[in-house]
Structure 1
Amino acid sequence: MNTIKILSVVALSSLAVACSKEKDTSTNDPSFSALSFSDLTVSEDFNWSSSINGNFTVVLDAPSNLYTENQPVELQDVDGNVLQTAVINGGQTSFSVSIPEQNTELFAYYPNTQDRVQINTNKSTTTLKIEEIDFEAGLGSSFFKSGTQVKKTSGNNLILEGDFENSSPQLDSRSFTKVRTAGAWYRYNSAGQIALRNGTNVFTSNTVGEDGRILQSVQIAGDQIYDLTYEYSGNAGFFILFMDNDQKYIGHTRVTLSSNGNASCTFLAAPNVRHIQLYGFAGSNEHLDNINMTQVPEVDSDGDNVIDRKDYYPNDPTRSYATFFPTVGRQILAFEDLWPYNGDNDFNDVVLSNHVEFARDASYNLVSASVKVQLNAMGAGLANGVGLQLLDNNKIPFSNNIISSIALKQGNTVSKLDASVLNGVLVVENLISALKPYYSNTGSGPRSAPQEFEFTIEFNSNAGSVTIIPDFYIFRTNERGREIHLPGFHGTEATDRTLFNTGDDVNGTYKNSKGLPWAIEVIYPYSLYFSHPLEKVDIVTAYPQFQGWASSNGMNNKKWMLYPTQGKIFVP
């Protein structure tokens, strides 16, 4: 397995990106002169997330004869692994992502034509241009490329009369994008003919200066791999066109030519393809012959109708696809725990590292979520718990319960469903008593390898194919309603809302009057460790570039977390 799929997302909303300038200055701008976190001056709408986080819209710029509605677009990483799949609606689609600022490249890929473009994560919209193929240019078209012939797969030839020995093509001059009846050759123009050359029948042209054109259609199920080979001379060749169930032209693929008169192509027909149409051409001194197209056998080990190539769980018939939060890496949440009163701003009272794997069935419906919550630090002297609420893509609670049960992984004896919060989980009710051994990892007190709380949430049928945003938060163990959330989240139904607008809180925004939060988020690569500040060390002191990042609304110093002050951070 080397691909990952996610449900189709067709929702257009503004991009919420903490960092939106292309250039990363990574300097201490003297205009930002805060000596401590409390001295910072920040934008009112700053989201305090050091990440690329939001909805990215992809707009297709496609030829007018190419039908793109409801066709798939893939979100890929630099290695071509599929992170998400969405469908085109009104010429565009969008992806909801949360990824690290560091060295993360995303690409939009249109499988129907193999066109790919890097997503500009500094902008909310990226244009994916579909190359227009000049079908009149013949071999001069960019449709063709030179290379080594691919060895064909043995199997039944899906092309009828591929050797032309008993073929009498009918004339059908409708557009070559119109699907012909499967199982027969059709001449596109009167110049095309079957002729005897060197003792064998071939397709050629009977008119000097005019190519003969020929077509044959093959009906398929879609989402399958095929091998095509044929012999040619001169500038003769075939285009390979894809049509959907409504016989609309939705894409094409390219053919490899070799110098010895052989052409080949191994290609994937995307899920929406229902007809493959070969469109051939040959001049009067050229020919086409021995066309062979076979389906490449693929394995579905668990019988869930999702082949192993695309199945993230190839041996589990109840699970097929996986989606992740964050999309790439892991979520670091660093808390101050004195809300609604300001704290000491070392952001080590509770430091969490979170990752969620959502499993989906063959119909993209949610089956389960595997949750890992790692406690990196606990500098708080107060007893706190960790909670989780599952929200929709707009950070709004679901109206119905979508959870059927929770199963604890080995070593976790404390996590359970939260009876007071719809679609909520009490990850840990009391961190002090749950840690074995107890540690703080702040340079003041015991240290230990971080303890992990792992569990699996099973979903009921209400979940369907929705996209879920996990809201991880902390709360006071002996005062359940005193919750602390990342700005942008609004508290659960268990939140004591009488605490809003008390102390330093402003309207329950989890920001004070200066716009400063009690929690910050860093989406971090797996390969890196976020070193939180030591006890009583202000985060601006521990990370001098933090002030430039915060004061510029995240436009500068995007990689502030890579440049700490040595001796001011916890090193595991």
Structure 2
Amino acid sequence: MKKTAIFIYIMGLTALSSFAQENTVTIDAELGDRNEYFATCWSMGAVTVSDNESTLISGSYSLRTNQVTNESNTATWIKSPWLKLEAGQITFKTRLDGAAGGNRSILMQVVSFDPENESTGEGDIAEIGSFEFPNPINKQTEIHEVSVTVPQSYIGQTVRVFISFVGSGGSARVGMDELVIPGEYASDPSEGCLPLAEKNDTDGDGIADEEESYPEDPYKAYNNYLPATGFGTLMFEDLWPSRGDYDFNDLVVDYRMNRITDAKGEVVEVVIELLTRAAGAGYSNGFGIEFSGLSPEKVIQVKGHKTTSSSIHTFMENGLEAGNEFATIIPFDDVDLVLTHPGQGALGINTDPKFGFVDLKPQTIVLTLKEGGEPTAAGPTRLSDLTLENFNPFLIVDQTRGVEVHLPGKKPTKHADASIFGTKEDGSTAGAESYYRNKENGLPWGLNVPVSIPYLVNKVPITKGYTRFFDWVISGGESYTDWYLDNSGYRNVEVMLNANVEGNDIPVPTRPRARVPR
């Protein structure tokens, strides 16, 4: 059958416009039972879902009216659920069944929300357009495509779209299908299909206040933490490529990374909270973090890092370390900037119970990736660009920039001295995943644990404190994946320490608690 496009000009509009639509409310009758649509807050009067070929338009089912012989708009009708109308076109397809009739029309209306009507919420009804089937009605079966522009005054309003089928004489029925309404569904089936409660959006970013973390900031919406809860612990050995004493307390740093996103899902800021808890080395070690895959050009600025006046590092104008392929920050270039050495002949800081505990200094690093809602010319950053896979922390040994100690399997930065790889006990030349693994048994020189845990007393190997650690390593990470937890038989607490912000837990009590700043 031939299809005729008929466009309706509505209430003073002289032309139709095309709008991009993000949300739609639709009905195509393909569920085959109008009760299915009632369950989602559609209403129908003298209209059913039918597979009768005389009114079928597309698919297996279409909407089908009773005989349309009444001019009242409440005789034969369809009402949409409550929805928040958006700019665009209300579109549908329609036809007659070919029976005799005098005239047949479709009225397009909106029902405003009236909060004082507690039973249905329905208020005033306003006609926004109409379509009249061409005469003669007899034997007319042509499919018409109808488009109705949403009036400007109703955009953003909570309404029901009310469609009435009116006419007189004869017995002709009307079919309708593929009804599409631009707008966001706003009915609550659990509350008698009344409109969903209005949600405040103070900052106007399109996200309800109660659904976001920054209701008064239009440029921020959600917190996205790594780890998901609490803090993780990073621990390093600084004698790489030699095994060393393997106590993993040469640098102990608790961390939490918050990737703050906006309403678009783009990262606005990366806020990294650090708590350097211990430094059991005799070296002046530094600490860096590379965000593998993240272009330095995407970072507007870095704040919160601590460097000495004679730093071995060179920095870009935005605060990143210069000369790297990927964005790299140096939270501190000397651990003495974040932990005060106790003196008295102590080898390290907070790693020997014989010496006093020194206060910890929480540190916050902020990377800005969007400013005023805009990223740099290099483009926006997504959460997928800043995962644990991209998180590449490393220790810088004793003010020697080329000596980096990374987590196992993580690649070094461009500043690393490649001549060290594969020497002594390091197996980094055996392939990409071999970086910073012992060539004999795969033991690492750096660890990232997703919770805050105690660390070891100076010169006590981690394998003595965490009794399942070695089993985990030699299994390739398949066995004892929870080796760091306080499970029965997993810890030897007599050789563990737990410096934290609430005091000096040295030595650790029988059931140690790893406290972190909140």
Q: Which amino acid aligns with 2:445?
A: W
SS in 2 for 1:333: strand
SS in 1 for 2:381: coil
Counterpart for residue 253 of structure 2: 352
Instruction: Between the two structures, name the one with larger relative contact order (CA 8 Å, sep ≥ 6).
Output: 1
Task: Describe the shift of the 1:189–1:432 C-alpha distance in structure 2 as closer, same or farther (beyond 3 A).
Answer: same
Counterpart for residue 474 of structure 1: 395
Counterpart for residue 336 of structure 2: 432
SS in 2 for 1:541: helix
What's the CA shift string for 1:169-195, capped at 9, x where partnerless? 5667479xxxx9xxxxx9945689999
Counterpart for residue 94 of structure 2: none
Deviation at 1:515, TM superposition (A): 1.3
Distance 1:192 1:501 in 2: 87
Deviation at 1:202, TM superposition (A): 10
Task: Describe the shift of the 1:134–1:532 C-alpha distance in structure 2 as closer, same or farther (beyond 3 A).
Answer: farther
* Contact kept in structure 2, 1:215 and 1:277, CA below 8 Å: no
Are 2:438 and 1:535 aligned? Answer: no
Deviation at 1:365, TM superposition (A): 2.0
Deviation at 1:540, TM superposition (A): 1.4
SS in 1 for 2:497: coil
SS in 1 for 2:336: helix
Task: Describe the shift of the 1:522–1:428 C-alpha distance in structure 2 as closer, same or farther (beyond 3 A).
Answer: same
1:512 maps to which of 404, 415, 438: 438
Deviation at 1:555, TM superposition (A): 3.4
Counterpart for residue 365 of structure 2: 455
Counterpart for residue 500 of structure 1: 421
Distance 2:304 2:285 in 1: 21
Distance 1:463 1:331 in 2: 30
Distance 2:232 2:67 in 1: 62
Where structure 2 has 5 or more consecutive residues not aligned to the other structure, the ranges are 1-21, 87-112, 121-180, 309-314, 343-347, 370-374, 430-434, 499-504, 506-518
What's the CA shift string for 1:443-502, capped at 9, x where partnerless? 254423433221211124235133213211111242101000001210111111121122
* Contact kept in structure 1, 2:186 and 2:195, CA below 8 Å: no
Counterpart for residue 365 of structure 1: 266
Task: Describe the shift of the 1:426–1:277 C-alpha distance in structure 2 as closer, same or farther (beyond 3 A).
Answer: closer
Counterpart for residue 471 of structure 2: 548
Question: Could you tell me the TM-score, scaled by structure 1's length?
Answer: 0.50
Counterpart for residue 381 of structure 2: 465
Q: How does 1:55-204 map to 2 (within 5 A)?
A: 173=50, 188=63
Where structure 1 has 5 or more consecutive residues not aligned to the other structure, the ranges are 1-70, 73-111, 113-132, 145-157, 181-185, 196-200, 205-212, 232-271, 281-289, 392-396
Deviation at 1:303, TM superposition (A): 2.5
Q: How does 1:122-521 map to 2 (within 5 A)?
A: 173=50, 188=63, 216=80, 220=84, 274=183, 276=185, 293-391=194-292, 397-399=293-295, 401-408=297-304, 417-421=320-324, 422-436=326-340, 438=342, 440-443=349-352, 445-459=355-369, 460-461=375-376, 462-466=378-382, 467-468=385-386, 469-507=390-428, 509-513=435-439, 514-521=441-448
SS in 2 for 1:373: strand
Deviation at 1:431, TM superposition (A): 0.7
Distance 1:382 1:372 in 2: 24
Q: Which has the larger radius of gyration?
A: 2
Deviation at 1:437, TM superposition (A): 5.4
Task: Describe the shift of the 1:215–1:384 C-alpha distance in structure 2 as closer, same or farther (beyond 3 A).
Answer: same
Deviation at 1:511, TM superposition (A): 0.9
SS in 2 for 1:481: coil
Distance 2:229 2:396 in 1: 27
SS in 2 for 1:548: helix
CA RMSD, Structure 1 to Structure 2 (Å):
4.5
SS in 1 for 2:257: strand
SS in 1 for 2:455: coil
Deviation at 1:417, TM superposition (A): 2.8
Deviation at 1:385, TM superposition (A): 0.1
What's the CA shift string for 1:306-342, capped at 9, x where partnerless? 2212221112122122222223333211111011121
Counterpart for residue 154 of structure 2: none
